[in-house]
A and B are shown apart, each in its own frame.
Chain A
């Protein structure tokens, strides 16, 4: 398929919206959550209109249909990340819950006091706080791969840390602030050589470029549907089969059991062992439709388009006096541009841009330690997806000049 952004934009109803009369939305906040194409909205709508029923336990037609749709979505997701089998796709609520699942189930079964977990300085709070909580409970040690001045991981420091034989290396594939795309395959290979298990936070990578879990040899991968054109309320934990098999259940209840006695239970097989209670059925089906949509457009096309937009954005923003950009150059970077404007707080930047319908985010973007590292309380962040255009970047640049005029 040839990539035509105008055609793509027509697939997204919200992009036709005006924020106020005569002011069309310029949505530059896809890193926080992506917009949804009509195909996804319709898949969920169809499900509720035609097939709504609880899954797995029913034998009636609706329950059969709902179960089939729910499980087909799992298979689509498995193919999308090249997982060996769909039973290695655990549905969760989001990336955060997926990471917590590893922290509660795998880590509590496998880590002892004094064991080392390696993280990085560019993690989202969702890959920090679960480990803080575990560290308080278990007395495990946390070390961090430093971030260099230009926004890359310091791999020399990582080599040194590996000499301390970590049990787990958990890191983000792509930073939601700097945009840095980390060399995941190399980090994982080195971790394995040191005997560590690896967890990859794919919240920002899986939506934006092809991620192949077998090529990466990663042990766990976490990601969220809502950042990849799917609905909120559903995410995935992928894991290697032997690890998932050996892990104790996380939440207890219906669906995750094979057999229950008054005083005991036997857990269900994968993936159901980790899916207690009625899941987000419509959302899983919507997720499947999102995968279909992204696959149709092609992840290579999406990555190439975003790269072009990012490069253009960096060029344009660098022209503006007083703008300081954070993160590496475009070659190491996904579709994120975090910046500060001299003399103006990021909140004020975002608020004034909003007057022209331009949606950017302001704050620490759930990465407070990273902002502390760069000695700034907050940044403004524009981020892109398959539907972003250079015209939107131009609107952003015009908007920033307007901010400068206000605060002149």
Chain B
């Protein structure tokens, strides 16, 4: 349990490297967690080979949701867009180095949900994207 607030997470929460909004951008998507009101908006730029060259997020939420967004974006820079479509729950949990209960899992996965919905060009971000 104490692990939940490991220094990495507090550090990424307090001093995120990828907080912001890219204007212009190639991809943008936002969504909220209706249970707690956490909100995340992600913007992406891709290069001519469709690799992610820049990424940024903005929004508000708990340490878990904000830190996982920062870690997630850090990890996808340079990756082909196509690869993002295959990222799953375990990928985010590995980044966080955590095992989470059902409530906090939603916080942790919000950014991946938003990212994938944006890449797929969906109108909304269903839970099924990260299951």
Residue of B nearest to A362 (CB): B36
Asked if A351 and B4 make an inter-chain contact with CB atoms under 8 angstroms apart, the answer reads yes
Interface magnitude class on chain B: 10 to 19
Which residues on the B side are within 8 Å of A347 (C-beta)? 36, 61-64, 104, 107
Q: Pick the contact of A377: B5, B60, B64, B107 (CB < 8 A).
A: B60
Asked if B14 contacts A378 (CB within 8 A), the reply is: no
Query: In chain B, what residue has the closest Cβ to A371?
Result: B37
**Would you give the shortest CB distance from B41 to chain A, in whole angstroms?**
14
The residues of B that contact A355 with a CB separation of less than 8 Å are 1-2
- The CA-CA distance from A362 to B107 in the complex, in Å, is 13
Tell me how far the C-beta of B84 lies from the nearest C-beta in chain A, rounded to whole angstroms.
26
Write the chain B residue with the least CB distance to A368.
B37
Per-residue 0/1 for A337-378: is the Cβ within 8 Å of any B Cβ (1 yes, 0 no)? 000000111111001101100000011100010010000011
Closest to A372 in B: B37
* Chain A residues near B4 (CB-CB < 8 A): 351
Q: Are B36 and A348 in contact (CB under 8 A)?
A: no
Proximity string of chain B (28-70) to chain A, C-beta cutoff 8 Å, 1 when within and 0 when not = 0000000111110000000000000000000011111000000
Residue B10, interface by CB 8 Å: yes
> Shortest beta-carbon distance, B19 to chain A, in Å?
15
Contacts of B36 in A (CB 8 A): 347, 362-364, 377-378
Check A348 against B37 for contact (C-beta < 8 Å).
no
Interface of A is mostly: helix
In the complex, A197→B14 CA distance in Å? 52
**A407–B9 alpha-carbon span in the complex (Å):** 10
Binary contact readout A130-162 vs B (1 if CB under 8 angstroms, 0 otherwise): 000000000000000000000000000000000
Determine which residue in B2, B4, B5, B62 has the highest number of CB atoms from chain A within 10 A of its CB, and name it. Answer: B62
Contacts of A346 in B (CB 8 A): 62
B10 touches A364 (CB 8 A): no
Measured between beta carbons, the chain A residues less than 8 angstroms from B5 are 348, 351-352, 406
Closest to B107 in A: A347
Docked Cα-Cα span, A390 to B102, in Å, equals 32
Q: How far is the CB of B110 from chain A (nearest CB, A)?
A: 12
A347-B107, A355-B1 in contact; A377/B37 too (CB < 8 A)?
Answer: yes
Instruction: Specify which chain B residues have a CB less than 8 angstroms from the CB of A351 in the assembled complex.
Output: 4-5, 62, 104
In angstroms, Cα B4 to Cα A345, docked, is 14
- Known A-B contacts A351-B4, A352-B5, A378-B36; A345 and B10 likewise in contact (beta carbons under 8 Å): no
Closest 6 A-B residue pairs measured CB to CB? A347-B62, A345-B62, A377-B37, A348-B63, A348-B62, A406-B5
Supply 14 A–B pairs (Cβ within 8 Å), ascending by A.
A345-B60, A345-B63, A347-B62, A348-B5, A348-B63, A351-B104, A352-B5, A355-B1, A362-B36, A363-B35, A364-B36, A364-B37, A377-B39, A378-B36
